[in-house]
A and B are shown apart, each in its own frame.
Chain A
Amino acid sequence: MALISTQSLKVDSRIRDLSFELHRGEVLGLIGPNGAGKSTLLHALVGLEDYLGSIECDDRAFDNYTRNQRARLIGLQPQTINSAWPISVRDVVSLGRIPWGDEDSNAVDHAMQLADITDFSERRVDHLSGGERARVWLARVLAGQPQVLLADEPVANLDIHFQLSVMDVLKNYAAQSHGVIVALHDLSLAARYCDKLCLLKAGQCVAYGTSDEVLTESLLQSVYEIEVDVDLNRMPPIVLPK
């Protein structure tokens, strides 16, 4: 049974006829050029965009969930995020409990452990480095203990150390019988961490499957319109422009 699935999903002209399935334990990577519809798709899944077609979660139509039930089921880490106030790391993470109406300290502590930010939990979020802050935003989503975690380019602007640490957190979260959908620009990371990939172009899914099936030189060349070097047999796998 799919954790989340879509049938002929449309969001005005930005997503046109998209169908995919996400199972428990899986990391699904959304890849594709800028403007392909990755963010739009993630936004539709949390109710930020109106859509046509169907989205089902645990075999139940999305429309049958209340706003709050949906928020408990699906958590989103948006592409850009900022705190309007210089609140503490712990307070940011506890905001993730809002769908549950509590500030459950166990859930908050656990989320901070998963994201490895316990050491600076009392510091103010405006006093952190970009890499630390990215993990704080992620811990906020983890604190809500969603069944499906959506992350929109969570490794953009991070150095290679933090890129791997954030992707590890996501991979481990999926392994605990959750589902993760992550939009990525770095195709090598996508090959390394994602169980399934969905290659988008202009709102349509060009290819959907394992990295072997999706990350082929010919497909990537047709979508990105540049020549690409692909070596998936290497560990870690490499996908780079020529």
Chain B
Amino acid sequence: MAEKINIIPWLIAVLLLVAWISLGQGSVPVSVWSGLHDWFNAMPSKEALIIGEIRLPRTLLALAVGAALGMSGAALQGLLRNPLAEPGLVGASQGAALGAATVFYFGLFTSFGTLAVTVAGLVGAILALSLMLGLSGSGRPSMVILAGLAISTIAGAALAIVLNFAPNPYAMQELVFWLLGSVSNRGLDSLFVLIPSLLLGGIIIWTQRPLLAALSLGEQVATSMGMAVNRGSRLIVLGVAILVGASVSVAGNIGFVGLLVPHLLRPFTGYRPDQLLIPSAIAGAILVCLADIFVRLLPFGQELKLGVLTSLLGAPLFIWLVIRESKRWP
């Protein structure tokens, strides 16, 4: 059994290191220090432009998206008492993608700009999660996965309709690329949507830590200990939907982060779902940022999409998890 240690300071140290590497990584070698310095002081140098306008948004976006996905995975797994729960597997990501794509491509609420796409993503994620919870009836692992599959399939079919009626082939290609998941070329204004969503969703979930802890022993025990299980569960779903909706609407589908990160960290937090939230958020940020650095290092002409890479790495681990779960007690 792994010892329970406070891993948060270590994770933060790794996070800073990875962020620094990410700022230094690109086609042009640039001094990160002088670039940041010039950018903060609004000096119009080449370094300031590259670091401040391209790499900093990309790095911060990768960190924010990763944090949102890591925390939402930890919250969902705790809520459903199911180590296989993940935003992508329970239909939340697909719901968010459908919502965002619909608004984006039918040009609805254009006066609200990126906010409209984000809100649509959020609404899509809430709808998908609510339908999933309604369909699964309980937190039973097999039912959650089945209901999630059903909802993802429906959302995927609806998304196909949106693609089908895309205004032109170029628009369709753009939509598909966006769906594959990436944090490049997004600009700083995406962060103005993502950071508040990250804080809001994170705080909502953070307030429900006692419920996540109590649910370890089941709903009956949680209720008998004075927890408002229904209300709290809905709040957690809302928090997850905000996190997933915002990150998908900005960066597309980046799968398996919410599955892998909580799973890898669980032994270090004594398997306690309430103590897993913050470490998962930080480690999610690290993982997505690392993956994004890796994507930039690949020698292909066309950049491999971030979401494709996380899926390639995540899927085998998911299969391994399924095999291990099938042998687990009781």
A: which residues have CB within 8 A of B? 43, 46-48, 66-72, 74-76, 78, 81-88, 91-92, 95-96, 98-99, 101, 124, 126, 140, 144
Contact = CB atoms under 8 A, between A and B. Distances in A.
Interface centre among B225, B228, B329 (most CB of A within 10 A): B225
Contacts of A70: 226
Contacts, number: 85
Interface of B: 1, 4, 81-82, 210, 213-218, 220-221, 223-228, 266, 270-273, 329-330
A183 to B, nearest CB: 14
Contacts of B217: 81-84, 92, 95, 140
Nearest to A96: B225
B272 A78 contact: no
13 contacts: A43-B220, A47-B223, A66-B226, A68-B226, A76-B224, A78-B221, A84-B215, A84-B218, A92-B216, A98-B210, A98-B213, A98-B214, A140-B217
A85 B225 contact: no
Contact of A85 (B1, B220, B273, B330): B273
B211 to A, nearest CB: 9
Given A71-B225, A81-B221, A95 B270 contact: no
B37 to A, nearest CB: 46
Contacts of A87: 216, 270-272
B147 to A, nearest CB: 18
A48 B223 contact: yes
Given A47-B223, A81-B217, A98-B214, 4 more contacts: A46-B223, A78-B221, A82-B218, A126-B329
A99 B210 CA distance: 9
B214 A95 contact: yes
Nearest to A137: B217
Contact of B216 (A71, A74, A95): A95
B204 to A, nearest CB: 19
A86 B263 CA distance: 13
Contacts of A95: 213-214, 216-217, 221, 225
A71 B81 contact: no
Nearest to B227: A98
A99 B225 contact: yes
Nearest to B213: A95
Given A78-B221, A85-B273, A126-B329, A98 B215 contact: no
Contacts of B218: 78, 81-82, 84
Contact of A83 (B4, B210, B216, B225): B216
A94 to B, nearest CB: 9
A66 to B, nearest CB: 8
B272 A85 contact: yes
